[in-house]
Structure 1
Amino acid sequence: MILPKPVMRGMLAKRLRFHLPAALGLSILTALVFKYTVTEPRKAAYAEFYKHYDADKEFNAMREAGVFQSVQPVEK
């Protein structure tokens, strides 16, 4: 039994016609899923956190706790 020779001419172009659009579509789909399941909720969480965040209050709490070496706690 003799095996037929494989067709090599034009094989890359033939495979790319299917694989290139499939890879492009999957990459776009993955990027959209990542955007709406990871980045958008993260941006909303950051916005919610900084809506009520008071940097001066946080600084004073850390200063009172003695976190900073160059800032002495305020004597009351």
Structure 2
Amino acid sequence: MSQGLLAKPQMRGLLAKRLRFHIVGAFVVSLSVVALYKFGVAEPRKRAYANFYKNYDAVKEFEAMRDAGVFHGVRPKGE
């Protein structure tokens, strides 16, 4: 009968080896999250703001709110 010998467990450098693996994994995950946020949230938001302000007339909006009575310190036109 021959018994197989068990391999000795790695005792030295185990923490460094595992840290190296996990640091690389964390870096890859963080870069992918940043890319997803940039292209999934930030860029569409920039485009939406650009499209909104392309045709936005602040004076026209102010006059519409003034005529609707939104402001208490401004009289409606014609009073």
TM-score bracket for the superposition, by shorter chain length: 0.7 to 0.9
Which runs of 5 or more residues in structure 2 are unaligned?
1-8
Counterpart of 1:3 in structure 2 is none
Which runs of 5 or more residues in structure 1 are unaligned?
1-5
Count how many residue pairs are aligned between Structure 1 and Structure 2.
71
1:61 aligns with 2:51: no
Counterpart of 1:73 in structure 2 is 76
1:13 aligns with 2:5: no
CA RMSD of aligned residues (A): 1.6
Give percent identity, aligned residues only: 58
Bigger Rg, which one: 2
TM-score normalised by L of structure 1: 0.84
Q: Which runs of 4+ in 1 moved over 4 A?
A: 6-9
TM-score normalised by L of structure 2: 0.81
In 1, the alpha carbon distance for the partners of 2:64 and 2:11 equals: 72
Q: Which digits, 9 at most, give the CA deviation of each residue in 1:41-75, with x for residues without a partner?
A: 11001000000000000000000000001000011
